[in-house]
Amino acid sequence: MMKGTLLHEYEIMQNPALGAIAMWAFSQGFLSRQSENMRLLTLWHLVSVLPLVYQETSRKMILKRREASGLRSILDRDTKNSIAQNEVVFDINSRLRAMEDRTFRSLNIAIACKLISLEDGYFTSSLSFKLPKNISIETRDILKAASKLGFWAGGMSDFEYLTVLGVEPLKWTFQY
């Protein structure tokens, strides 16, 4: 049986509504860059959100970088450590697969609640995201990291974003 902080963290990460809000925060960050370039928000972008912002090490790497630094900054080696900062990011593919069901539950909630909409095969959001008040520090950090990650992604081509993360195409299986 889990107790205290561990149980609280587990409950947060299992909450598909939090995932939906994180995707909304990501989409708003992404779309805020739309005037700079006409990038379209794809499913590939959205499936990357939870594996990066729910994992503590990658979330901290995102949060400690300035927004102007860009996504590539999380790949820089930290000279204080002997381990590259990006080792967690390079495990993104196994985390994408492990979080696939949770990601799609969260995306369904985001669409059902009209936080994100699907138009012509791409995602958009017309509701402005504002960080909620009176939330736990961990939840706040997840949402801030999602927004920053979206801002970075919005300034990159799809290919560049997925390549920097080391994402391999997922092979979804559909059962009829």
Domain borders along the chain are 16-165
Question: CA distances (Å), 7 to each of 2, 55, 96, 105, in order?
Answer: 5, 16, 23, 21
The pLDDT of residue 154 is above 50: yes
Give pLDDT, residue 176: 46
Q: What is the mean pLDDT of residues 13-18?
A: 81
Give pLDDT, residue 6: 47
Q: Which pairs with CB-CB distance under 8 Å and at least 24 residues apart come from 114-122?
A: 115/20, 115/21, 115/23, 115/24, 115/27, 116/20, 116/23, 116/24, 116/27, 116/46, 122/40, 122/41, 122/42
pLDDT digits (tens, 9 = 90+) for 83-142: 454 555 657 888 888 889 999 999 999 999 999 999 998 999 988 888 888 888 999 999
**Which amino acid is it at 94?**
S
**Which amino acid is it at 5?**
T
Give pLDDT, residue 12: 56
Higher pLDDT, 8 or 160: 160
The pLDDT of residue 48 is above 90: yes
**CA angle in degrees (0–180, nearest 5) for 99-84-67:** 70
Q: How confident is the model at residue 173 (pLDDT cuts 50, 70, 90)?
A: low
Higher pLDDT, 176 or 22: 22
